[in-house]
Amino acid sequence: MTTNPAQRVALVSGGNRGLGLAVATRLAEQGMHVVLGVRDRLAGQEAERALASKGLAVHSHELNVTDPASVARAVADVGAELGRLDVLINNAAVAVDRHQAATAPDFERVRVTLDTNLLGAWRLAAAAVPEMRRNGYGRIVNITSHLGSQSNMGTGNVSYRVSKAGLNALTQILAAELTGTGILVNAASPGRTNTRMAYGETDRTPDEAADTPVWLATLPDDGPTGGLFYEREPLGW
């Protein structure tokens, strides 16, 4: 694979559809080489072809964030094939417990949700940091949700809420650990976006929701410090 060694490289998990695809498109339009992390190889190739037809530098790579070997392989391949990894968008997530109560949990759904939304993002971040350290630069953006906000905590979607609240805490911890390294870690809540996880309760398109994650992914070195949470409609944390 031939690339410009000075071209920034971004990895977007869940990058073949919805918000992930919108973010990947915008980053590629800004001149980055974007790797679409996908569970379905054929779906990834379809998204890759669609973006490549627009002249954008993209390719897809199989990535299952719940599989440590898959995560390690994807990040290692990006480093080996493209020579660097500058941006990680932790977008892959599931929402499978809309009506679940904390007092009557389906722990299999809890496990699946935490393994994807929290541990999946954690696995990817831990794997990406060594690659970012090589160049003293990195931007990690965790896609969170208003449902994980402490000031907005309530009933329903219990494992999803817990997973995103945990992701918010992880964001702050990683940002603190990486202070002074050139790697910034932030979280963005895109709001009620029209994706398959939204159950029809939406007020913006994926392209509209991509604004904040893309902004965080391209923060200048003298921009805001890491560890902060951003929403289109601030709710407080």
The catalytic site residues sit at 160
Within 10 angstroms of residue 30's Cβ, the number of other Cβ atoms is 13
Here the tokens at position 193 are 């976006």
**Cα atoms in the Cβ-side hemisphere of radius 13 Å centred on 161:** 17
Q: How far is CA 58 from the centre of its chain?
A: 17
Residues 6+ apart with CB under 8 A from 21: 15, 36, 47, 206
Return the DSSP state at 118. I
Measure the CA–CA gap between 213 and 21, rounded to whole angstroms: 12
- At residue 77, φ and ψ (nearest 5 deg) are -65, -40
- At residue 9, φ and ψ (nearest 5 deg) are -120, 135
Which of 73, 85, 87, 177 minimizes the C-alpha distance to 131?
Answer: 85
